[in-house]
Structure 1
């Protein structure tokens, strides 16, 4: 038994080293990504553009490697393709580098491109091969969950070890857990996943080995055939009954149903691929019926989505919903007639649709930007609020038009497109300038309350610490009303002082106590939330002066610097803040 365990471990370690040799450029990109992420953890910053660039390079190099294995064995071709990957990665970096941060648009474009590369990674090794796309997908599917399981176990074990050392031997910085996760999930997990992907033969000499690797585990076979297919059948019946009952009215206005239909289509297509190699009555029934049922359901969803954008215009999310609906309908039609071995057509379609959605001029963001600007302009022109490229404020327009103006401006500013509209004021900020520009406050439905305010201390803000004895970061959360206790102790001139946090009259109070539990000074945190309740900063950023609160007497001094604050006006229990607390004992 021991020898078997040792052989299994040795095989896995050998597989990892083989993966490093097989994917050298991918390994280098992952090492770079882990190093960049480690530096961001140490600096306490968010993901950098360079980190995402290395991830893109890792995906590209993995796809080009399987392409080489499938179509060419020449070292010169491999070298040239590696150079091409480096150039493409550098090109990506040069494209996104001018942006100060990764905007939502860049993140989505990159995510869609990575998804397309993942599909290509699964599909390319079986192009014009006796091995089907279904088998390749099953191998990737099993490898992903094996990787997820082993990575989770390894991280959990290391986290327990770190915690034990911290509790029993010496203190460990909390960043150690982030560094551990960085190594496990950014470096180990991808390489372990790649080690589970076999080298697909060009001439099918190892077909038996591939078929064994692609075999469906008994557990998964039972789960798919006898549990998930019956459940999905019942859900489909309920969905069809709902559509038939409401086809004359509410179905076309029910926006909550849209994500359900998209999720349903994804589930059906994924299930179809997974059960393609499983032969029993349940899977045969599924392959025969569900592609045909998918088509009308998706067509209804597409129609509903298109009707929804007539008045409000296209957003990138609605663009992807409609595009996916078109893909799902086409996939359902093809799966209804093509043999199971031809499922690779789904991969080709996914890649094509992904590329369409991110490459101008028909990409999600060019279309949504133009649509939202046109929608806003048409409403302003209809209400005679736009004359000679100048907006004329008007509080008397219909409520529906106010809502459209509010929604389009909110979307355009969220995506950073307001600067590209020549008839909006220079440096327009919706939070601060909306009323002056359009003549009415951001429109809300009857009974709706301005729900929340989120503010952050401006990045790279210097904070003076001279004269204070100590400081700490604390969390204030109105939902935690039963928690109280000591935050830290200060020892000064042979005396011990304690900073306490406790709930008093529905608010958190910070108290510095000396000997005999004597209160030297207190700070009521409600002052913070009262100040920012109706605050209107620029772009949600606070200066050091705006974020600083001080209480002082002849015995002590407490200074609070607000790092971030969230105020939920409708649900006070969700109000919270992160504070830097500086304490000086006199």
Structure 2
């Protein structure tokens, strides 16, 4: 009956977590309801879902803050009220936006990241329980709750599959609904049930909860630490080998070094209370090794700002680099019981990165606009607050202008720049605005281009006499081929293709074989040849080509186009609209 007792204890832990974190439970329940509605209707309300998840984080931090620093019930109500107000304020900020931009998403994630560290640090701040124990408890609780939740979801999914195959068909939404209840509602509550109330829990209870299992101790001490040591040696050798050249230009190394710094700091915290030769040596040596490695990378990132300006990703790389250097210095001299200062620093740095005017997005926007403006002024391309096209821009500066414009467009900042054309489209208007095509990295210029017209785009057919759908592809032989003929006012007209080598002309002829109008389809491939290979779709306006004279009018609307640059093979699916005058 031991299993029954354990099950009862777990169930009691869940009910205790609900009573301990009532507001968090309500926010999680609301998030589950919103997500269930989205699953059923297939209409995602991401703003509301993120609001409730953020509210769950805020209310959890409010609860542990109450447990650590307050005792009166009125203080608990005040903290819960503050969490509700902050959650409501967040929703009022994001609600007017037409969609969740990258900026909003990153600000939200960083805020949740800071709240997570606050949840770990606040309950043990200035207490007898070390931050390292709180971190270990949180670390273990996360993976335990994830493990049990995954097992439960897998079991229920198997039951649903069996029921669907053997009894009667069930809706496919049963699976996402199950995942919603387990991972949005059950898993967080089970996680919270494993977090002790440090202000009331006995020391032996906390020690037991923070105990590092044998498996994890072996994994950290005898596998992770040697692997990190080997990787560190490779990094040091690379830096010494390339210190006079490639290191300062290798931006691909940034994410690797950031990951390395994160790994070293987290591993240091996890092994802070483990005593063996590997962990002791790791704590003595690696914080000191971390400092010069990250210092070199921060210097490299700062140097690169001279050309490319600040982006939010580069901002976070440099900011985290500064944090990692400070952390390395502190870990080199402070005792392990002071590791909680790292959490406080992370919270401060996170707040700096999302609160104007020194946040990642204000600084990156101003920097990128200034970089673009400097490049345009260098070539006298800004005149009367308007851009003047110039095809004599150097390849290096084309790259800078292209990257800057693409970044500003991706972040939704182009609408705020007065000297850019109204409703500027980076793919459609780039050439006409700047006088040259978007810069492509070496090798990218040979990438194939595959484009389709955006779905559900209206096409004006008023005034046309005939509509023909056809494909354009290279013929084996030169010559003419009839596509379609039709009558109007007792006269017969014929649309033919006139092929000469790679050139295919669309030609409209009358009864006496008189040519009325001709369109060179190479114009289609010439227009889209330099389009970015990742664009994917084009608007109806981009897809439309018109040729007109006093006898007839041809309008060609491209449905899809394929340009194989290396094979020199082009084809397209088109609509041809014909008007006889």
Query: TM-score if structure 2 supplies the norm length?
Result: 0.79
Instruction: Measure the CA separation in 1 of the matches of 2:77 and 2:396.
Output: 60
Change in CA separation of 1:190 and 1:534 when aligned onto 2, cut-off 3 Å: farther
1:311 offset after TM fit, Å? 0.2
In structure 1, the residue matched to 2:56 is: 58
Change in CA separation of 1:68 and 1:367 when aligned onto 2, cut-off 3 Å: same
Change in CA separation of 1:360 and 1:454 when aligned onto 2, cut-off 3 Å: farther
In structure 1, the residue matched to 2:483 is: none
**Contact kept? 1:409, 1:430, Cα under 8 Å:** yes
Instruction: Measure the CA separation in 1 of the matches of 2:443 and 2:387.
Output: 29
1:44 offset after TM fit, Å? 1.6
Change in CA separation of 1:326 and 1:457 when aligned onto 2, cut-off 3 Å: same
**Contact kept? 2:449, 2:529, Cα under 8 Å:** no
Instruction: Measure the CA separation in 2 of the matches of 1:29 and 1:336.
Output: 41
Change in CA separation of 1:533 and 1:165 when aligned onto 2, cut-off 3 Å: farther
* 2:29 equivalent to 1:37: no
Instruction: Measure the CA separation in 2 of the matches of 1:543 and 1:422.
Output: 24
Give the CA RMSD over aligned residues: 2.8
Change in CA separation of 1:567 and 1:106 when aligned onto 2, cut-off 3 Å: farther
**Contact kept? 1:369, 1:412, Cα under 8 Å:** yes
Instruction: Measure the CA separation in 1 of the matches of 2:168 and 2:51.
Output: 37
1:334-378 deviation per Cα after TM superposition (whole angstroms, max 9, x unaligned):
000000100001000000000000000010000100010000000
Instruction: Measure the CA separation in 2 of the matches of 1:291 and 1:348.
Output: 18
In structure 2, the residue matched to 1:483 is: none
**Contact kept? 1:391, 1:437, Cα under 8 Å:** yes
* 2:107 equivalent to 1:109: yes
Deviates more, 1:231-240 or 1:277-286: 231-240
**Contact kept? 1:453, 1:533, Cα under 8 Å:** no
Counterpart secondary structure, 2:428: helix
**Contact kept? 1:392, 1:437, Cα under 8 Å:** yes
Determine which of 47, 71, 74 is the counterpart of 1:73: 71
Counterpart secondary structure, 1:432: coil
1:389 offset after TM fit, Å? 1.0
Instruction: Measure the CA separation in 1 of the matches of 2:183 and 2:264.
Output: 29
1:8 offset after TM fit, Å? 0.9
Determine which of 173, 188, 191 is the counterpart of 2:189: 191
In structure 1, the residue matched to 2:416 is: 420
Determine which of 177, 180, 204 is the counterpart of 1:179: 177
- Where does structure 2 lack aligned partners over 5 or more consecutive residues? 459-524, 544-558, 568-581
Instruction: Note the 1:47-196 alignment, pairs <5 A.
Output: 47-196=45-194
Change in CA separation of 1:76 and 1:368 when aligned onto 2, cut-off 3 Å: same
In structure 1, the residue matched to 2:290 is: 294
* 2:337 equivalent to 1:341: yes
Number of residue equivalences: 482
Instruction: Measure the CA separation in 2 of the matches of 1:179 and 1:454.
Output: 36
**Contact kept? 2:457, 2:539, Cα under 8 Å:** no
In structure 1, the residue matched to 2:434 is: 438
* 2:375 equivalent to 1:379: yes
1:19-64 deviation per Cα after TM superposition (whole angstroms, max 9, x unaligned):
0000000000001001111111122234521111000100000000
In structure 2, the residue matched to 1:403 is: 399
Query: TM-score if structure 1 supplies the norm length?
Result: 0.78
**Contact kept? 1:225, 1:283, Cα under 8 Å:** yes
Change in CA separation of 1:350 and 1:64 when aligned onto 2, cut-off 3 Å: same
1:535 offset after TM fit, Å? 12
Determine which of 220, 226, 236 is the counterpart of 1:240: 236
Change in CA separation of 1:456 and 1:355 when aligned onto 2, cut-off 3 Å: farther
**Contact kept? 1:20, 1:191, Cα under 8 Å:** yes
**Contact kept? 2:145, 2:187, Cα under 8 Å:** yes
Instruction: Measure the CA separation in 2 of the matches of 1:566 and 1:47.
Output: 35
Counterpart secondary structure, 1:332: helix
- Where does structure 1 lack aligned partners over 5 or more consecutive residues? 462-529, 548-563, 573-586
Instruction: Measure the CA separation in 1 of the matches of 2:566 and 2:32.
Output: 40
1:569 offset after TM fit, Å? 6.6
1:570 offset after TM fit, Å? 8.5
**Contact kept? 2:291, 2:325, Cα under 8 Å:** yes
In structure 1, the residue matched to 2:351 is: 355
**Contact kept? 1:451, 1:570, Cα under 8 Å:** yes
1:445 offset after TM fit, Å? 3.2
Instruction: Measure the CA separation in 2 of the matches of 1:546 and 1:172.
Output: 45
